[in-house]
Structure 1
Amino acid sequence: MSRIRELDFVKGCSILAVLAIHITAPFIHEAPFFAINGLSRFCVPVFFLISGLILFYRYGGENPFPLQDFYRKRLVYIMVPYFLWSLLYLIYSQWTDPQTVPDSLSGLFTALLIGKAYYHLYFLFVMVQFYLLFPFLRWFFRKWGGWVILVVAFWCTLGTQALTWEETKGLFSVQPEEEILRRTVLPWLFYFCAGGWLGLRFHHAFSRLRRLPLIALHTVSSAAGVLLVYQMAYLNHGGFYTPTTMVYALSILVLGIQLAQRFHFTWIEAVGKRSLGLYLIHPLVLHLSSSFSERWIPGGSWLQFFFVFAVVVSVSIGITKILERIPYGYLLKGR
């Protein structure tokens, strides 16, 4: 499958949004940083949309399904980097924040298994679940058609989102924790399946998406972003768990595809090509650069935000490029 340049641009925007969320997290009580944090919440849903799109575009029509080759690639390019970085972050946490490190072998094993070694690794744990489900989802799409799967996935995701809302917390005797929910496929199922639906009819879907008015996409995405920030601020909704987020993520995906078709964003596309490496590496660089900058830059200032953002992006990309040039570097940067 040839590389889809438009998706590299969208991935680049999304990984930069991930960095914005993590950099602003300590200062989220400040209104401007809260807004940046909220407006960046399209990132994880968009990554699941793109993951579903690429997998179904690549493997959806392939018959028979190359099961062994599919899982071999995921093991080498996803699972191995995931476990290596999990170990590295556990060692790093033992040095910087030892109370967060499990004090038993069973606790360490659980942290490695379910993406709790560091705060960002839950995403890869969820992706592994989607890889395990993919052959079944592929069969369901063929058996029942895309719209049936999309409707079921939508209600699964919406129902899971509702469990996190303040309005529903008194309706259930047992309230699941957000930290547990986000490590399951349920809050993300609609995004992955919607991406899969697009991937199965990729060329037809892309020709249709090109016809959507750019001003309408700007309007919808801007309105959804503002509404999402309002819901986070005044309704105490999690930024990833609202129907507004669904509209926001889908409109950002389509808007990004259209912008990339009309213009060339070489730098952002280069970032998108290395998005997995940046995702794995950036928390380490972020923690080190934040700790260093706090010595001479006021914490929570715009100067610190832009300084840390620039350092995290440039250093993470630099490390990823180095790993690209050394033997077996893909075992750390993924692919």
Structure 2
Amino acid sequence: MERRTKLTQIDIVRGLAILGVLMVHSTSFATLEMKGTSLYGVYNFLNIFSKIGTTTFILLSSFVLFYNYYPQPLTAARFKKFYRNRLTYIVVPYILFSAFYFILRWYQNGFEWNISLMWPSFFEKLLRGQAYTHLYFVFISIQLYLLFPVLLFLFKRFRWLAAGAVIIGVGLQWAFFLYNREYWHVQNRGSWSLSYFGQYFLGAWLGIYFDRIKSWLIIAKENVSKSRVLVWVTLWATWLAAGISYVTIFYYQRVHQTRFHNALYDGLWDIYTMLTPLVLIQVAFLLGGRMNNSFLVGRLRHLGIVSFGVYLFHPIVLLVYRKFPLNGGGTMAHHMWYAGQFLSALIISWIVVTLISRLTSWSWVLFGSVPAQLKAADQPTLSNEISPSKPSASA
């Protein structure tokens, strides 16, 4: 049975991705309330350029799954363990946090405390990933986990499907976009996995062929050649152009009420969010060599390990923080208040998730496999492989 080398750099990518999530959520109110200030362009940039979290986590999830499972034989026992772990480490936290946020919202809205009213509403929101605004990501992940064994079987059975995974994924994604726009009119399109097939299938392709293509992806002295440098420069230039263009159209929409065709929004978003994980993987491998002797890089990896818990918990911090808005004060005070949102969401969530995961034996019901991953990170010499039976918490 073939096992592949553990890629601890993926934790760094997760750390960068969760920073993006926190930045988007921390600046969302600022994009509405800080119009007219000299730094509005900065808020718009931080809010839009940071929209990389969900798509990066989806790509990483697919990458890790196919990286681990593709070389393994397909057996009923392996898939039984796969689903048991996802039920334990993903579905259970999803249900618990959905219940918590649903009750919190019910209380905020002043609704009647009537179980006959609450239960149907909760069940409907649970099945749509709508108990709170950020839980759609976990709902998408569950959909993709259900699809994974089927896709794995097809990719192993038909190698041409694996080779053309990126084209197939983008094609299916855009077919959904176009048919939904013209005929289906599915609400909350972003809560359905078809909207992310491009990113998911790219992750699958990377996971399957990583050993073959890593010299073309990873920036390192031993990989330098004219053709590879050209690929790296093209990747970064295209990524920056797509990201800046995506930021720009939102700036004109928000400031000047300019509307662009939906295809432009979708196209720039798709290019930007498919290239971003590749850029972050390159950054992670550049930083990875300093993982053991750089405090900041080590903390970034730690943040990546606890990112699933931070993702689930951080809206609580933002909710409490926003209960204490500034009354008066100059523009600079408001800038500092918004900066405090980001720092509070990051630091408090990070500390709470870490402490609960380390100090309790039941934290898996809240944060999935985060406690086990923290323990494994404390003992890096015990295993040199990614265990196919342990799901990534962030994935």
Instruction: Specify whether residues 173 and 250 from structure 1 end up closer, same or farther in structure 2 by C-alpha distance, changes over 3 A only.
Output: closer
Which of residues 318, 336, 341 is equivalent to 1:303? 336
Question: How far apart, in 2, do the equivalents of 1:7 and 1:97 lie?
Answer: 40
Distance 1:241 1:195 in 2: 22
Unmatched runs of 5 consecutive residues or more in structure 2: 291-296, 370-395
Deviation at 1:315, TM superposition (A): 0.6
Equivalent position of 1:246 in the other structure: 270
User: Which amino acid in the other structure matches residue 227 of structure 1?
Assistant: S
1:195 aligns with 2:203: yes
Q: Which residue of 1 aligns with 2:25?
A: 22
Once the two structures are superposed, residues 285-323 of structure 1 have per-residue CA deviations (whole angstroms, 9 ceiling, x without a partner) of 111112224457779932112111111101101111112
Q: In the alignment, does 2:300 pair up with 1:268?
A: yes
Tell me if the contact between 1:49 and 1:195 (Cα under 8 Å) persists in the aligned partners.
Answer: yes
1:290-329 → structure 2 map (5 Å cutoff): 290-294=322-326, 301-325=334-358, 326-329=360-363
Report the CA distance between 1:257 and its aligned residue: 1.9
8 Å CA contact 1:42, 1:245 repeated in 2? no
CA distance in 2, matches of 1:331, 1:173: 40
One-letter identity of the residue aligned with 2:368:
G
Partner of 2:237: 219
Q: Which residue matches 2:175?
A: 159
Percent of counterpart pairs with the same letter?
A: 26
Matched, 1:278 2:296: no
Tell me which residue corresponds to 2:146: 132
Change (3 A) 1:46 1:327: same
Q: Distance in 1 between matches of 2:277 and 2:110?
A: 39
Residue deviations 1:186-220 (CA, integer Å, cap 9, x gap): 10112111101111122222222025445544322
CA contact (8 A) 1:187 1:241 kept: no
Using the TM superposition, name which of 319-328 and 138-147 deviates more: 138-147
**2:147 paired with 1:147:** no
CA shift for structure 1 position 94? 2.2
Unmatched 5+ stretches in structure 1: none
Larger gyration radius, structure 1 or structure 2: 2
What amino acid maps onto 2:134 in structure 1? H
2:215 counterpart of 1:207: yes
The number of residues matched between the two structures is: 327
Aligned CA distance change for structure 1 residues 82 and 236 (closer, same or farther; 3 Å) = farther
Give how far 1:235 is off. 4.0
TM-score by length of 2: 0.75
Aligned ranges 1:49-60 → 2 under 5 Å: 49-60=59-70
Q: Pick closer, same or farther for the CA change 1:237–1:292 going to 2, 3 Å.
A: farther
Q: Secondary structure at the match of 1:41?
A: coil
**CA positional deviation for 1:244:** 2.2
Matched, 1:256 2:280: yes
- CA RMSD, aligned part only? 2.7
Report which stretch shifted further, 254-263 or 47-56: 254-263
Deviation of the 1:280 alpha carbon: 0.3
| Deviation string, structure 1 residues 34-58 (Cα, Å, up to 9, x no partner) | 2211111222111111010000011
Q: Distance in 2 between matches of 1:50 and 1:328?
A: 26
